[in-house]
Structure 1
Amino acid sequence: MITKEAKIGFIGTGVMGKSMARNLHTAGYSINVYTRTKEKAEELISLGANWKETVAELAQNSDVIITMVGYPSDVEEVYFGEKGILENAEKGTYIIDMTTSKPSLAKDIYQAASEKGIFSLDAPVSGGDIGAQNGTLAIMVGGDQQAFDGLQPIFTVLGENIILQGGPGTGQHTKLANQITIASNMIGVCEAIVYAKKAGLNSERVLDSISTGAAGSFSLSNLGPRMLKGDFAPGFYVKHFIKDMTIALESAEEIGLTTPGLSLSLKLYRELAEKGDNDSGTQALIKLFD
């Protein structure tokens, strides 16, 4: 079981990673941080986190390593190669990839880690910037029971709904199911809000009514109000949602599943990105409807 004496290395301090690392620091853990753009880590450094110049240096000085980066290519870069985590972490280190990535890549990392006596989990999250700030993320974990149990003190700082789904890669598969659900839901939220406006209704009152009924969802309750305010700041980037949906669509095709709702949502978000909203929050989808 991990104790407060453990040094936690955190790679990736973007919109969500920064809040997650801050919560671990506040909980009393010693934090090492690395990100390609040091400015993104300045707030954490000012709070007392230890900056490491390279992935290798962080890996050599951390008992637990958490990665929260952008794309599968970024995951591969930080884990593999002479300067990566797997070549520099000590035997017995715990590694947790919390990026939404490919299930097959999670399995590759697990296999390579096992050969070196390193414990590996894939543990993507859901809950956006709000969940990251409040430590209420849903954490979907793939890997061994022993490693999962040992990391419970860390997981409980970061989230509330923490479930071991099965072996390596199952955390990623579960997150893809999560994104498939959100994909179609986001279209429905946008259509409902625009419908309410065009019907001459008070959109805020409409949200108050329907968000607690059968139509209720995180997107409706948390992103609907942002849509009404024209607040398109990223809690979760359009570009990252496109990445997630692309992986989900590829994974669905691999298992022979047709996902028309996912396909439509991906088409619309790609259109939104082409119009200049790649770095906006996912709630910016309403621009295509309104």
Structure 2
Amino acid sequence: MRVGFIGLGLMGSGMTNNLQKAGHQLVLHDLRREAAEKLIANGAEWANSPRDLAGSCEVVFTSLPGPPEFEAVAAGKNGLLEGMQRGQALFDLSTNSPTVIRRLHKIFAEKGAHLLDSPVSGGPAGAASGKMALWISGDEPSYNKYRPVIDAMGDQIFYMGDVGAASVAKLVHNLAGYMVNTALAECFTMGVKAGVDPLLLWKAVRQGANGRRRTFDTLAEHFLPNHYDPARFALKLAHKDVSLATQLGKEVGVPMRLANLTLEEMTEALGRGWQARDSRSSMILQQERAGVKIAVDPEDLRAILRADSNN
């Protein structure tokens, strides 16, 4: 298949290598032509503009730094929109703004073209190896039609539904990771300043309950099914643990901003009379503030976890 690809940076270079290995005929564009030289030497073609690229291939993929660059490539002067034909599809692999994606989706639809947001997760190593997740939302027939091309870039493909949903999922994924990093930095600096060797501390805690399971899998236990009774570990006991940790931080002189916020959340939950409920019942407070109620069928959750364990 003739595949257009714009953006040959750390992520794009790995994905285009895999597309070429899979036998697809590439049409390439980047701000730096030299980024494409190896691929061109192996048979890829060069397009002088996004508009020219769109007019010379069946499907287009973009991998760009962010919303401004994507909007310029997609809908700017000599952009993809000027060259795309009715029924043609553009998959944006960038980490993008759902608002920008949804706005441009309407503009592309007016021309009869399809814009799908398709952010990826795996980093440069995953892009090079093909061990990468792709979250895709938008026109489902286009997704099905070009699935063989998508499969050449990643091994975990998820169709998310209406356009913009995949970009929301990517932001949730990345934000959670960086927030966890911030929390871990706070906890570990407290432990080290309290006198524990950092290597021994890491070796120890990674074998505890939190270290032995996948981060997002914990959501299936209480938060997603909205089930906090009976408690696996009571809120009053967890509140005691966090109180001890924040007190230790004070004793050794380590700022504990996230820990103190966590303690405030748990204290508010105690004030609701939830002492005997599960320790995660404090997560209900954020649902109330956000104005959403999450209650997933437990059997649906168990089916997903079983399927993962069998792979």
After TM superposition, give the deviation of residue 89 of structure 1 in Å. 1.4
Which shows bigger deviation, 199-208 or 17-26?
Answer: 199-208
Of 119, 122, 127, which aligns to 2:122?
127
Equivalent residue, structure 2, for 1:115: 110
Of 182, 204, 223, which aligns to 1:187?
182
After TM superposition, give the deviation of residue 42 of structure 1 in Å. 2.5
Residue 92 (structure 2) pairs with residue 59 (structure 1): no
Q: Counterparts of 2:208 and 2:28 in 1: how far apart (Å)? A: 40
Aligned residue runs from structure 1 range 71-220, under 5 A: 71-191=66-186, 199=195, 201=197, 203=199, 206=202, 210=206, 214-215=210-211
Q: Counterparts of 1:163 and 1:65 in 2: how far apart (Å)? A: 19
Q: Which amino acid aligns with 1:203?
A: L
Residue 66 (structure 2) pairs with residue 68 (structure 1): no
CA, structure 1 residues 134+188, in 2 after alignment: closer, same or farther (shift >3 Å)? farther
Aligned length: 216
Q: Counterparts of 1:55 and 1:111 in 2: how far apart (Å)? A: 19
After TM superposition, give the deviation of residue 104 of structure 1 in Å. 1.4
CA, structure 1 residues 201+46, in 2 after alignment: closer, same or farther (shift >3 Å)? farther
After TM superposition, give the deviation of residue 117 of structure 1 in Å. 2.0
What is the root-mean-square deviation in Å for CA atoms of aligned residues?
2.6
Equivalent residue, structure 1, for 2:37: 42
Q: Which amino acid aligns with 2:116?
A: L
After TM superposition, give the deviation of residue 88 of structure 1 in Å. 0.6
Residue 6 (structure 2) pairs with residue 7 (structure 1): no
CA, structure 1 residues 196+143, in 2 after alignment: closer, same or farther (shift >3 Å)? same
CA, structure 1 residues 213+101, in 2 after alignment: closer, same or farther (shift >3 Å)? same
Contact 2:188 2:198 in 1 (8 A): no
After TM superposition, give the deviation of residue 217 of structure 1 in Å. 6.0
CA, structure 1 residues 24+201, in 2 after alignment: closer, same or farther (shift >3 Å)? same
CA, structure 1 residues 94+192, in 2 after alignment: closer, same or farther (shift >3 Å)? same
Contact 1:120 1:147 in 2 (8 A): no
Unaligned runs of 5+ in 1: 1-5, 219-255, 259-290
After TM superposition, give the deviation of residue 208 of structure 1 in Å. 9.2
Q: Which amino acid aligns with 1:16?
A: M
CA, structure 1 residues 209+158, in 2 after alignment: closer, same or farther (shift >3 Å)? farther
Which structure has the larger Rg? 2
After TM superposition, give the deviation of residue 214 of structure 1 in Å. 2.5
Equivalent residue, structure 2, for 1:33: 28
